[in-house]
Amino acid sequence: MLQPLVHYSCHVFLPLVVALLFFKSQWKIAFLIMLSGIWIDIDHLLATPVFSPNRCSINFHPLHSYYAIIVYSILSSIKKTRLVGLGLILHIISDTVDCSFM
């Protein structure tokens, strides 16, 4: 029961903490942009079954692959795409926390 709580809390609170610490003057928009990183979970629809509580997303789903993570890292290093990239990286970190429970 603790695993889903920690997992989904990370998806919300990691972007919030990063926004509050590093984007103080525009924390609300930074938070919303980084929170939108949750959309990469759309690739879960390609899996059968769509949800499996014992499956680690990292390197299983296409948008959670190591190649995608490299792209997200590049996006986070470019000023114009930094918030999007950070949101995606934070999403991957949240999913990694989830995998550690398995």
Can you give the pLDDT at residue 1?
67
Render pLDDT for 49-78 as a digit per residue (tens, 0 to 9). 998 888 999 999 999 999 999 999 999 999
Largest CA distance in the chain: 43
- Identify the DSSP state of 88: H
Is 84 or 2 the better-scoring residue by pLDDT? 84
* Mean pLDDT, the chain, integer: 95
Rounded CA gap, 7 and 74, in Å? 25
Domains in the chain: boundaries: 2-100
Q: Of 18, 21, 26, 37, which Cα lies nearest the Cα of 81?
A: 37
Tokens 């629809």 label which residue? 45
User: What token pair was written down for 35?
Assistant: 């929170």
> Measured between alpha carbons, how far apart are the two ends of the chain, in Å?
13
